Structure 1
Amino acid sequence: MGVSRGALCSMSFKLSQKQPSDTDSPSAPAAGGSRLFSWLLRLRSFTVNAWEAYLILLVAAFLRFYQINTTEFDDDQAKIYRMAYDAVHHGLLPTTSDVASIGIAHPPGLIYFFMPIAALSANPLWGAVLTALFTSVAALLTYFFTRRYYGRFAAIAAALLYATAARPLNYARFIWQPNLMPPFVVLFMFALYWGVVERRKGWLFPALFLLGVLYQMHPTTLLLAIPLLVAVVLAPGTLRWRDLALAVVSLLIIFFPYLLWEAFTHLVDVQTVFNLAKQHARTDSQALQFYRLFLIPYDRPPTNTNTAVGVLAPILTWL
């Protein structure tokens, strides 16, 4: 049976077509270059659209690092840094930090943050530098968080307020348990909003872990369990058992030294807390005073008329 000339031409054309091979696929460097180019474009877009974030970070860092060698240094600061120094240079496992005003021992989380610095220098000034670094980053995180969920103007206002307000600035420059809390508080709120607002899974593990880190710095952060419970109620569809399991394991790891201390002392700190809880509650205006001090750092009008503040104080009394 004969084959037509048209069929032969068609077969010849198909055979002459180049078959795809491995060498025709995009090379690894080309693909990597494309990803790098895409990342650079996103970075450029962020730089253009969030240029004020750099100014906020610059203001926050300047106010926190300027003459940091004159920062507060008392018994608490000396004890905390010395514990970190001794832990590194004598091979000790910190099980607590210093003692709180109510008579219980703080968990040792803060000591572990200062241990890398203490390994490099015995000068506690570097502990203050670490605190200033953490709180400067907190101002930047405040901008990112507020802009993501509340807009650009709100982000600028919130970040600048935290960067420049007198009372937070005072606590942003010296060694103390609560002074390292700000960046972790913002990250904790990021985790809650990740689940409640964006309805994404995987937020419970970082939220519980960050709450544990914050409790290591100061027991008052246990109040953050309230918004955490609200988030659980509002976003039940985002919860996963594996996130809870990871959180439990991570919390056991970071609290293991402190649990050793409590077991060795027969839960004496827990007993102290329960005894204090039996005391009568009192309602006063202390919280309002703290809000006032947030903006106005002076408990009383300045008396030294030779300073600029002393000269301007009578003019600004109407404020």
Structure 2
Amino acid sequence: IASLALGIVEGRAFPLWGTQSSVGVYLPPLADYLYALPLVLWKSPLSAVLFTGLLNLAGVVLTWWTARRYWGVLAGLVAGALFAANPWAVFYSRQIWQPDLMPPLAMACVATGYAGFLEGRRWAVGAHLALLAAATMTHFTGLALAPVSAALFLIGRRRLPWREVAGGVALGGLLAAPYALYLWRDRAGVLAIIGSATSDGAVADSTAAHYWRTMLTGDGAHALLGAAAADWGTGWFLVERLAAGAVLALLVGGALVGMVRFFQGRRDAATWAALLAALWAAMPLVLFTRHSTPVHLHYLAVALPAAPLLAGALVGAVGGRARAALGGLGGLAAAAQGALSVALLVALGAQVTPGGFGFPLGQQVRAAGEARALAPSAVLLVPGDNATSDEWAAVLGIHFYGVPHRLVDGTRAALFPPEDAALVVAPGAEAGLDAYAVFGAVEDLQEVPGRAGEAPLTVGRLRGGVAPDLVPVGERALLANGVEFLGYRLEGTLAPGETVVWRIGWRLAEAWHNPGRSYHMFNHLLDADGARLAQADGGTLPTHAWQVGDLVVQSFALTIPEDAPPGPYAMRVGMYTFPEMENQPLLDVAGLPAADSVLLGPLEAR
């Protein structure tokens, strides 16, 4: 998301769609445009995280203001405190993610709807419709607000300000236009993805109800600790469950109060506000109890502010000691959940949480700072080099915005720069670091630790101009895509039953490649008669970033079958486009195709 937002800031791209959803369909792009706002001021992921936090803080203030306006001072305090302390609200305000924007957007949408349709504030009607579109264009779950809008229209149908309605619809249409264009242009592909995702048919189960209770009451937040939750104190589990039970009671009580007041004939703004909050809270259950695709917890974030509003409605509906008692219950629940959130933050910052919360941003910031101090450019060794789909590639790429850097999939390649460069190695990409170490290209290595038990980030300096010690190819081996094979290094014992490490070096001699294609390398181990004994294929570097002069060493593991004849052995290497499988032939001195591969051998270990 931050990568797309930076592209908007730089004017490189104005996307019609956002990141891919869990279903496979691309999400609307509005979140990317929203996150571009803080990045205009400070091109760091920290600015986007702070933006998320500030929006959610605004959502808390708006919840307090709305509850206070319709149900009184104590109701406002209870509602605001419960929203602010809900552990899920706390943690959904600390990331760069579309669902993290849903609670404040939903609260703003509902609050303007109340002001416009219940109080007759004309400007708020247009704002409500625009915010409804904004919520939906941020995440599909914004559609859960549509029934609330429909109910508001019914309530205020006799005094609709049509000019403001038209303005809100026009602004909403403008926000939806990019995504609508994408859906129309790629409608066949979108329908195919939806058809595939829903092909197993719909089922009705309790998943949505479980997640509804979890999200709206603040229950189950210990799941953020992953496997480490087993070591958490029993007392905290009790606090979590009791506080969630209190919030659930207040939530249900607020919904019942709205219904009782309605059937008593009290059709004032306070009654409508409570009923609409109940409808808002219930909509995720209506939408997701029967589902054709998996239901996830973050789908319920759109309804999170409805729970504190309903608690406020209950507090405001009673008087005397009952009000004080319910207000005290809400305050105790908020205090307990606030303490729980603090305890979770401390635990998350201190130890690894496998299966739970991800890597803290602080470790990444420290590693990026240390790397920038080493050299003016950087090589980022990551497990997967596609910044649009691979997490570490996207994360580290953002941290090095404005710094010349190259993304290299360390599971298969090592790029040797012509000048000194900083090296950052993400967990899972250590194989590439081994290649640098073998050829003596890396120095000043240091680890940037994370939490206890967590894999560190490794930072070091790559020496520029290192020529890897390889067994030379012999005659020039230039392929049709401009790649020239330089030589190889074989580590291990060349014997039946043994596994060897095969490193093949190449450089981009000519810019003949197609930047829109992906090139893969093949390595065929042959016996003395030319029979294939083993094979290893793999991708190279992101082709759009290839530069003439790039020197790359790629590493593969091959196991020689136990029944293979003894050596000598040879290796046939080459490249092809993927997935088209178009071979890149070896060229002769005249530049004409001479063979479909390069034959190296007899092989010798080094």
Per the TM superposition, whether the score is higher than 0.5 is yes
Preserved CA contact (<8 Å) 1:96 1:107: yes
CA-to-partner distance for each residue in 1:202-234, whole Å, 9 max, x for gaps?
543222111000011111111211111111111
User: Does residue 157 in structure 1 map to residue 78 in structure 2?
Assistant: yes
Match of 1:253 in 2: 174
Residue identity matched to 1:143: W
Match of 1:111 in 2: 32
- TM-score w.r.t. the length of structure 1 is 0.66
SS at match of 1:298: helix
Match of 1:168 in 2: 89
Aligned with residue 218 of structure 2, among 295, 298, 307: 295
How far, CA to CA, are the matches of 2:148 and 2:75 in structure 1?
21
Aligned with residue 13 of structure 2, among 68, 92, 109: 92
**1:243: Cα distance to partner?**
2.5
Preserved CA contact (<8 Å) 1:209 1:250: yes
Alignment coverage as a number of residue pairs: 236
Match of 2:205 in 1: 283
Cα 1:187/1:270, change in 2 over 3 Å: farther
Residue identity matched to 2:160: L
Residue identity matched to 1:208: L
How far, CA to CA, are the matches of 2:184 and 2:168 in structure 1?
22
Cα 1:98/1:234, change in 2 over 3 Å: same
Residue identity matched to 2:214: R
After superposition, where does 1:32-111 map in structure 2 within 5 Å? 80-111=1-32
* Alignment gaps of 5+ in structure 2: 243-606
CA-to-partner distance for each residue in 1:96-151, whole Å, 9 max, x for gaps?
11011111111111111111322344421221111011111111111111100111
Preserved CA contact (<8 Å) 2:59 2:104: yes
Cα 1:270/1:221, change in 2 over 3 Å: farther
User: Does residue 209 in structure 1 map to residue 130 in structure 2?
Assistant: yes
**1:292: Cα distance to partner?**
3.4
Greater strand content:
2
**1:94: Cα distance to partner?**
1.7
* Alignment gaps of 5+ in structure 1: 1-79
Match of 1:29 in 2: none
Match of 1:186 in 2: 107
How far, CA to CA, are the matches of 2:191 and 2:154 in structure 1?
29
Residue identity matched to 1:221: G
Residue identity matched to 2:19: D
User: Does residue 266 in structure 1 map to residue 187 in structure 2?
Assistant: yes
Cα 1:134/1:200, change in 2 over 3 Å: closer
Residue identity matched to 2:108: L
Residue identity matched to 1:149: Y
Residue identity matched to 1:298: H
User: Does residue 228 in structure 1 map to residue 149 in structure 2?
Assistant: yes
Structure with higher RCO (Cα < 8 A, 6+ apart): 1
Cα 1:314/1:242, change in 2 over 3 Å: closer
Cα 1:159/1:103, change in 2 over 3 Å: same
Q: Which stretch of structure 1 is more off in the superposition, 204-213 or 252-261?
A: 252-261
Q: What root-mean-square deviation, in Å, do the aligned CA atoms of Structure 1 and Structure 2 show? A: 2.7
Residue identity matched to 1:303: A
**1:195: Cα distance to partner?**
3.7
Cα 1:280/1:156, change in 2 over 3 Å: same
**1:236: Cα distance to partner?**
0.8
How far, CA to CA, are the matches of 1:317 and 1:134 in structure 2?
26
Preserved CA contact (<8 Å) 2:52 2:96: yes
How far, CA to CA, are the matches of 1:251 and 1:212 in structure 2?
5
User: Does residue 136 in structure 1 map to residue 57 in structure 2?
Assistant: yes
- TM-score w.r.t. the length of structure 2 is 0.36
